[in-house]
Every structure is written in C-alpha cells, then in structure tokens.
Amino acid sequence: MTAAPRDLLLRTAFRNVINEPNIEAGFQRFAALTDNGIDFGTFSDAVATCLRDGLIREPVRLPEGALQCHWHLELTPKGVAAVRATLAR
C-alpha cells in the first residue's frame, strides 16, 4: 500500500533535510528522495495541508543576512508526533 502524500511528505521531512532556493527545487529534492511519482500539484497540496494543520513550519524563509529567501521543509513538534504515530502503525 502506498502512503498518502501528506504522510509521505512528513516522513521525508523527518528523515531528510530539504533546504532549497525555491519550492520547485524543493519538489525536485523531494521527488529524488522518494521516487514515488507524486506530481508538483499533489506535492503543493500536501505542503499546504501540513502547513494549515501546523505540522510543518512556514517553508519560505529569509535567513538573517541572506539576500534571498530559501524554501525549507521542517516539521513542528506536532508534525514529529504525527510521523511517529504513522511509523508506529
């Protein structure tokens, strides 16, 4: 059985660092790590769902001293708990 896009996104963020210049590069990194065939629209929807549910932090960031924003996938404590719950099944 394949994982739901949301769960796959959470597990990928739990096990890997995704820190890219923009969402398109973030998607490419995600796709390379998972090799699951999820398209960009499904990925974007999963990111929006996780953000809305408080499972990930705001992915677009301007680090101190940086000249441009970066796209970073990072779990919140609630997101970590959600991943651990899916791994325990």
Which pLDDT belongs to residue 2? 60
Instruction: Locate the domains of the chain by residue range.
Output: 5-88
Which pLDDT belongs to residue 70? 84
Entry pTM: 0.88
Going by pLDDT thresholds of 50, 70 and 90, the confidence category of residue 42 is: very high
Going by pLDDT thresholds of 50, 70 and 90, the confidence category of residue 1 is: very low
Is CATH 1.10.10.10 correct for 5-88? yes
C-alpha distances in angstroms, 76 versus 2, 13, 25, 41, 72?
A: 24, 10, 22, 23, 12
In tens, the pLDDT along 43-82 reads: 999 999 999 999 999 998 777 777 777 899 999 999 999 9
